[in-house]
Amino acid sequence: MTPQRRAPRDRAIAFAVAAAVCLLPAAPGATAAVVRDDGGGGGSHGPGHRDRDGAAPRPVATRPAGRPAPPGAADALAVRGLRVPERIALRTAREDGIAASFVPRPGSLVAEVRLFERSRAGRRLVGRRLVAVRGGRRTRVHLPGEELRPGAYEVAVRAGAGRATLGSAAVARVLVG
């Protein structure tokens, strides 16, 4: 990339870092670290890389340790528009599985789709799939049903940016018979 084309990007990055450093002292318990470039080749631009003004150290914001996620952060990546058939024939469920579609919220990258068998004793996990999704786009999933029996089932879908950040589950019931 030529220096003329890289300069606006470098200025934008420098501005973003400077803005983060200015806001950092306002965060309770926040700390800042300085990244030093000693010319030993540790930088991403090669050994001895310096900015146009010659400054090597750049402040970098670090995440405060031990701080829990804000309340409702996982729920911000919840699923909406879950569609599952209310009733499905046992033969169809065993041959084709149970189809479910949903729309994960923007920012979601993965979704966990689980199928539970409902009974008086509670619910039992029958099947589970972790699928890649695109936030804001309808996703279709088929849950395998070779071992299904007649009865009531639940499809529960959770989505998030990763397995550790899955939001609350959207649940829909289906009768197999």
Report the 3 state secondary structure along the chain: CCHHHHHHHHHHHHHHHHHHHHHHHHCCCCCEEEECCCCCCCCCCCCCCCCCCCCCCEEEECCCCCCCCCCCCCHHHCEEEEECCCEECHHHHHHHCEEEEEEECCCCCEEEEEEEEEECCEEEEEEEEEEECCCCCCEEEEECCCCCCCEEEEEEEEEECCHHHCCCCEEEEEEEC
pLDDT in tens, 50-104: 556 666 555 555 545 555 555 555 555 579 999 999 999 999 999 999 999 999 9
Asked if residue 70 belongs to a domain, the reply is: no
Asked if residue 67 belongs to a domain, the reply is: no
Average pLDDT, the chain: 77
Asked if residue 69 belongs to a domain, the reply is: no
Domain boundary among 61, 85, 108: 61
Confidence of residue 134 (pLDDT cuts 50, 70, 90): very high
**Cα–Cα distance measured from residue 137 to residue 176, given in angstroms and rounded to the nearest whole number:** 28
pLDDT in tens, 11-63: 777 777 776 666 655 555 554 444 444 444 444 555 555 556 666 555 555 54
Judgement on whether residues 57 and 90 belong to the same structural domain of the protein: no
Judgement on whether residues 46 and 125 belong to the same structural domain of the protein: no
Total tally of structural domains belonging to the chain: 2
CB 99 within 8 Å of CB 106: no
CATH of the domain at 126: 2.60.40.2550
Judgement on whether residues 51 and 126 belong to the same structural domain of the protein: no
Judgement on whether residues 166 and 88 belong to the same structural domain of the protein: yes
Judgement on whether residues 10 and 80 belong to the same structural domain of the protein: no
Percent of the chain with pLDDT over 70: 62
Does this model's pTM top 0.75? My answer is no
Partners of 87 in beta bridges? 175
Domain hosting 97: range is 75-176
Judgement on whether residues 87 and 170 belong to the same structural domain of the protein: yes
Judgement on whether residues 47 and 88 belong to the same structural domain of the protein: no
